[in-house]
């Protein structure tokens, strides 16, 4: 694990932080490799139920470290950071993490940082955050899924403006367009992201993962495929210990104690 990415647990949350503040958290391949390892840990450790990604220092990230990353990517391709069998934080070149990830952003959220936000499941932003997908201004184009996800998230014409002109947009505009789910109070973006993640983690983990997987299937393969999955997965989830606990806790008027079984 690179010291440019710190990873810690808080209860059943995995909390990941870009830790290269002297370089405005510019993302090099070491950081992406460490992030892939962290997402893989979140995906596979049963006691972990959700993840939070944020940035130390004055910005979330100024984007991809081009001088460091491009030479290897030019030879090995954009997936050069991935090892065999790992989860892909961008959900492009390998499986996505099956558990929810919340991104907490502040300062700048540029290029690869915005793509990680689009690939995540929720975003909490500090006031004053500036977003940008301006790779074309540096002679490249988005490698991390923006060409797929930004039009779906904010509409074709908005996405073309930001990707082709390289214009930036505010946290307020990102909230209006649906990229940001919570526009946090000043200095509270991480705390509010952790609070949101804890609320997710309090719920039945198998049900959360099934909900996330079915929504992703509907997005990728359409409603018909998701409907078939609902029939089978719904039967499986209804037979879990957690489903029984949910009913029992409701009858006993107490908080549920979900075990993930």
Dump pLDDT digits (tens) for 27-65. Answer: 999 999 999 999 999 999 999 999 999 999 999 999 999
* Mean pLDDT confidence for 146-166: 97
The token pair that represents 207 in the structure block: 């049900």
Residues 204-248 pLDDT 10s: 999 999 999 999 999 999 999 999 999 999 999 999 999 999 999
Give the mean pLDDT of the chain: 96
Q: Output the CA–CA distances (angstroms, integers) from residue 231 to 223, 225, 237, 245, in the order listed.
A: 12, 10, 10, 21
The share of the chain scoring above pLDDT 70, in percent, equals: 100
* Total residues found in the chain within this entry: 261
What b/e string do you get for 84-109 counting C-beta neighbours within 10 Å, with b at 16 or more?
Answer: eebbbbbbbbbebbebbbbbbbbbbb
pLDDT of residue 1: 57
Radius of gyration of the chain (CA): 19
Starting at the earlier edge strand, list the strands of the sheet with 182-183: 5-10, 13-18, 50-55, 101-105, 122-125, 182-183
Model confidence band, residue 2 (pLDDT cutoffs 50, 70, 90): confident
Q: What's the pTM value of the predicted model, to 2 decimals?
A: 0.96
């Amino acid at each position: 694990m690179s010291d440019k990415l710190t990873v810690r647990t808080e209860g059943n949350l995995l909390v990941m932080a870009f830790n290269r503040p002297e370089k405005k958290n510019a993302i090099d391949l070491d950081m992406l490799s460490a992030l892939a390892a962290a997402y893989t840990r979140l995906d596979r450790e049963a006691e972990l139920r959700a993840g939070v990604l944020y940035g130390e220092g004055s910005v979330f990230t100024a984007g991809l470290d081009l001088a460091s990353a491009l030479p290897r990517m030019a030879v090995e391709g954009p997936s050069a950071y991935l090892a065999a069998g790992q989860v892909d934080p961008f959900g492009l070149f390998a499986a996505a993490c099956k558990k929810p990830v919340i991104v907490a952003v502040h300062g700048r959220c540029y290029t690869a940082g915005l793509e990680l936000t689009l690939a995540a499941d929720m975003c909490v932003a500090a006031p004053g955050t500036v977003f940008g997908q301006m790779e074309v201004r540096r002679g490249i184009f988005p490698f991390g899924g923006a060409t797929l996800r930004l039009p779906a998230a904010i509409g074709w014409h908005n996405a073309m403006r930001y990707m082709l002109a390289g214009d930036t947009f505010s946290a307020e505009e990102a909230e209006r367009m649906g990229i940001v789910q919570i526009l946090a109070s000043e200095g509270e973006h991480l705390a509010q992201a952790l609070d949101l993640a804890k609320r997710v983690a309090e719920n039945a983990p198998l049900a959360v993962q099934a909900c996330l997987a079915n929504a992703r299937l509907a997005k990728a393969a359409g409603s018909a495929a998701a409907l078939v999955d609902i029939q089978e997965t719904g039967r499986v989830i209804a037979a879990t210990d957690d489903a029984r606990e949910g009913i029992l806790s409701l009858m006993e008027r107490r908080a549920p104690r979900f075990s993930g079984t």
